[in-house]
Amino acid sequence: MIRDITIGQYYPVDSVLHRLDPRLKLNGTLLFIISIFLFDYFYGYIAVTMFLVSIIMLSRVPLKFILRGLKPIIIILLFTTTFNLFLTQGDILVKLGFLKITKQGLHSALFMGLRLTYLILGSSLMTFTTTPNQLTDGLERLMWPLRRIKVPVHEIAMMMSIALRFIPILLEETDKIMKAQMARGADFESGGILKRAKGLVPLLVPLFVSAFRRANDLAMAMEARCYRGGEGRTKMKPLRYAGRDMIAYFILLLYFAGIIFISIYEKYFPYFDFI
């Protein structure tokens, strides 16, 4: 199950999208998400779909890998579409006993499903093409103004990157502790939910103890290397916008303007009246 979740993973290939500045990709994702909620009709979806398809092609991430990211949300997807389909009031199209499908229901089920799918695809594309380090760097720079209102931006970014560094170490450690406890007769696999949850205690306690010990060691090692928070710190790899980032920003704005235009146009001249 954990292996199915591809959202948040990085897919290492070399593409234009991979080389773009992480700040641009974060902003772009936000803009894209806003854009898919801006309109209600057919033309808008054609525009968004075309944009998404071209981005996917640019990213050089295999389509199969991208679509796998939808697997964990399939239930939510089915749930929302079914509810929208059967429970929306309006002009009745089909009636099956107490179930009825309305024109408005069909419309919102279809578009809600598409919106959710695009939302997941768009945001997972960002993480596929951005390394976790770049992502934290980008977030740090974008949130920088929030320091004015006392948000500890640098500390949050530092915590995120340390967490990323220690995930594989702690996973390995979990495995080690599990084996050690199994050798002592612990049982992680049989019994009901309650028994299994109880069985996790001998795993979690040593894991937490060791994580705290590591945290303590790491804090000491960081201080020994003159770490004293974000003040007066320089960057080895500072983020700098390149020419291609400017072009990408231009394309993004063009896309966004186009979407706004389409949504206004559609309001006055609905093309497919029946949907």
Query: Cβ 131 to another protein, closest distance in Å?
Result: 9
Query: By CB under 8 A, is residue 224 in contact with another protein?
Result: yes
Q: Would you list the DSSP string of 36-47?
A: TTS--SHHHHHH
Instruction: Please report, as residue ranges, which positions from 226 to 255 form the binding site for another protein (by CB under 8 A).
Output: 226-228, 232-238
Q: How many residues bind another protein (CB under 8 A)?
A: 27
Query: By CB under 8 A, is residue 148 in contact with another protein?
Result: no
Instruction: Please report, as residue ranges, which positions from 192 to 221 form the binding site for another protein (by CB under 8 A).
Output: 214, 217-218, 220-221
Closest alpha carbon to 142 in 230, 252, 24, 235: 24
Burial 235-258 (b: 16+ CB within 10 A, else e): eeeebeeeeebeebbeebeebbee
Supply 223's token pair. 């201080």
Q: 22-35 and 103-129 helices cross at what angle (nearest 10)?
A: 180
Query: By CB under 8 A, is residue 169 in contact with another protein?
Result: yes
Query: Cβ 41 to another protein, closest distance in Å?
Result: 45
Out of 15, 104, 117, 133, point to the residue binding another protein (CB under 8 A).
133
Give Cα 91 distance to the centre of its chain: 37
Supply φ then ψ for residue 93, to 5 degrees.
-100, -55
- If the CB atoms of residues 149 and 236 are measured against another protein, the closer one turns out to be 236
Query: By CB under 8 A, is residue 225 in contact with another protein?
Result: yes
* Cα–Cα dist 170/210, whole Å: 9
Please list the residues that pair with 101 across neighbouring strands: 94
Query: By CB under 8 A, is residue 115 in contact with another protein?
Result: no
CA quadruple 32, 34, 47, 117: dihedral positive or negative? positive
Q: 74-87 and 103-129 helices cross at what angle (nearest 10)?
A: 160
Query: Cβ 160 to another protein, closest distance in Å?
Result: 11
Query: By CB under 8 A, is residue 264 in contact with another protein?
Result: no
Supply φ then ψ for residue 54, to 5 degrees.
-70, -35
Query: Cβ 207 to another protein, closest distance in Å?
Result: 15
Out of 71, 147, 165, 195, point to the residue binding another protein (CB under 8 A).
165
- If the CB atoms of residues 45 and 128 are measured against another protein, the closer one turns out to be 128
Instruction: Please report, as residue ranges, which positions from 21 to 60 form the binding site for another protein (by CB under 8 A).
Output: none
Query: Cβ 227 to another protein, closest distance in Å?
Result: 5
* Cα–Cα dist 133/98, whole Å: 54
* Cα–Cα dist 85/240, whole Å: 47
Query: Cβ 182 to another protein, closest distance in Å?
Result: 23
Query: By CB under 8 A, is residue 15 in contact with another protein?
Result: no
Supply 55's token pair. 């981005």
Query: Cβ 212 to another protein, closest distance in Å?
Result: 12
Out of 97, 168, 185, 192, point to the residue binding another protein (CB under 8 A).
168
CB neighbourhood size of 12 (10 A): 9
Query: Cβ 188 to another protein, closest distance in Å?
Result: 25
Residues that bind another protein (CB under 8 A): 132-133, 161-162, 164-165, 168-169, 214, 217-218, 220-228, 232-238
